[in-house]
Structure 1
Amino acid sequence: MAGQGSRSWAGVDLSERQRIRRAELLQAGIELLGAPEGPAVSVRAVCRRCGLTERYFYESFADREEFVAQVYGYVTDEARNALIGAVLRAPTPEARAQAAVESFVQLIIDRPTMGRVLLIAPLTEPSLGGRGLQSAPAFAMLIGDQLDPLTDVADRQLLSVGLVGALASLFIAYLDGTIDVGRDRFIAHCVDLLTNAYSWQRGQK
């Protein structure tokens, strides 16, 4: 990426320049926080990655810890919005399971830096301690919303939280190479996990 000195800002106002710089810094943060060898995020490394001086880093972020939290929050929002969009377009629980898994794979597996930020960085980056657990309820709620609304509330919660944990473990294992199967087989297994859970839940009524 070109350095700050080579940019041409003709006709671009200050707020837009700041927005562009912030987006570049966040992208650099995703690449560093989601690096295959593990997080290597420092203010200097982030600025060097996108060709900006530290002055522009502190224009948008108070410190490294706030920056890392913002990177993680950005990826979490992307994942949640992708899942919401996928399930809204699907007419049945089975179709929603397929759409949700395919959408998540496109974001997390096809873009592994995003996947490692979302699922692995909270386990390896001290400043994110606990954030993975904090975001889990939102994903459990998305799954719970697809379950039969007449089911006991506690059963819905137990099943949805359990499914989030199982799926997270599967995606982490796929990202780190513990699971070595083809993409289509992986998707099919995750879809089966969700649809079988929905079928089991309907059978308990």
Structure 2
Amino acid sequence: MSGARHYGGLSGADRIAERRRRFIAAGLELMGTRGIAATTLRGVAEQAGLAARYFAESFPTIEDLHVAVFDDIVTEIEERGLAAIADTEGGPRARSRAALSALADILLTDRRKGRIIVIESASSAALGPRRLAEAQRFGGIIAGLSGSDNDPQSVELRLAAQFVIGGVSEAMTAVLVGAITVDREHLIDLLNDLLFAALRGVRATAGPARTG
């Protein structure tokens, strides 16, 4: 006989992939409800309903699982945000609002994801560098949406984009923890207004530009 052995209709590679998905789902649940510090290898294995010995098939350390869960959420944010931008007619304001709407849907509908992205990642040694890198990357997307004649790589526009990223993160945190109660549509409109207020400030100090 040749080829991979199958059990229950799944090859060995398929079974490893399925166990990885279960570990990631367990990581999402524990990181998003108990916090990263309480998300241990033993706890994840119990949540996934798998023997702990299988963990090393996919993740060298528990921190690697933390990063995988974070990256899955970031990928979802990027894919849905870019799709919303591409599907939206109109100028920069309409497109940025669509992206913010997609972000709010992800972070506020499944609050586990919101907690991991804007709260837990800030205090994690493993996720801190990933959070910084993604903030810079999404800042570039915001700079590209500015509708400005200013160079998207200019120091002023890059700083404004990072300012907006930080503000959106803190606003989402306040809503997630219940410090501020606000209607979803009002939140999105206000964040979009603040985004363009920051970009207008750059236009006023860095030269002429088109309006959004």
What residue in structure 1 maps to residue 46 of structure 2? 48
Q: Distance in 1 between matches of 2:35 and 2:13?
A: 33
Deviation of 1:198 after TM superposition, in Å, equals: 4.8
**Once structures 1 and 2 are overlaid, which stretch shifts more, 125-134 or 137-146?**
125-134
What residue in structure 1 maps to residue 138 of structure 2? 139
Please, what TM-score do these two structures have when normalized by structure 2? 0.83
Instruction: Say if 2:21 is the partner of 1:20.
Output: no
Q: What pairs with 1:76-95 in structure 2 (closer than 5 Å)?
A: 76-91=74-89, 92-95=91-94
Which residue identity is paired with 1:147? S
Q: Distance in 2 between matches of 1:90 and 1:194?
A: 18
Instruction: Say if 2:97 is the partner of 1:98.
Output: yes
Post-superposition CA distance 1:72-111 (Å, at most 9, x none): 2222222222222221222321211221111001111111
Please, what TM-score do these two structures have when normalized by structure 1? 0.86
Q: Distance in 2 between matches of 1:98 and 1:24?
A: 34
Instruction: Say if 2:9 is the partner of 1:11.
Output: yes
**Once structures 1 and 2 are overlaid, which stretch shifts more, 124-133 or 58-67?**
124-133
What residue in structure 2 maps to residue 178 of structure 1? 179
What residue in structure 2 maps to residue 110 of structure 1? 109
Contact 1:34–1:113, Cα closer than 8 Å, also in 2? yes
Deviation of 1:53 after TM superposition, in Å, equals: 0.6
What residue in structure 1 maps to residue 165 of structure 2? 164
Q: Distance in 2 between matches of 1:199 and 1:156?
A: 10
Identity of aligned residues (%): 28
Deviation of 1:138 after TM superposition, in Å, equals: 0.9
Q: Distance in 2 between matches of 1:195 and 1:83?
A: 18
**Once structures 1 and 2 are overlaid, which stretch shifts more, 19-28 or 69-78?**
69-78
Q: Distance in 1 between matches of 2:147 and 2:93?
A: 13
Deviation of 1:127 after TM superposition, in Å, equals: 3.2
Q: Distance in 2 between matches of 1:21 and 1:106?
A: 28
Aligned residues: 197
Contact 1:174–1:180, Cα closer than 8 Å, also in 2? yes
The answer for unaligned runs of 5 or more in structure 2 is: 1-6
What residue in structure 2 maps to residue 119 of structure 1? 118
Structure 1 outlier segments of 4+, above 6 Å: none
Residue from 16, 32, 35 that aligns with 1:38: 35
Which residue identity is paired with 2:35? G
Deviation of 1:126 after TM superposition, in Å, equals: 3.8
Contact 1:141–1:160, Cα closer than 8 Å, also in 2? yes
131 and 165 in structure 1: CA distance in 2 versus 1, 3 angstrom threshold: same
Q: Distance in 1 between matches of 2:13 and 2:143?
A: 40
Which residue identity is paired with 1:103? A
Contact 1:122–1:130, Cα closer than 8 Å, also in 2? no
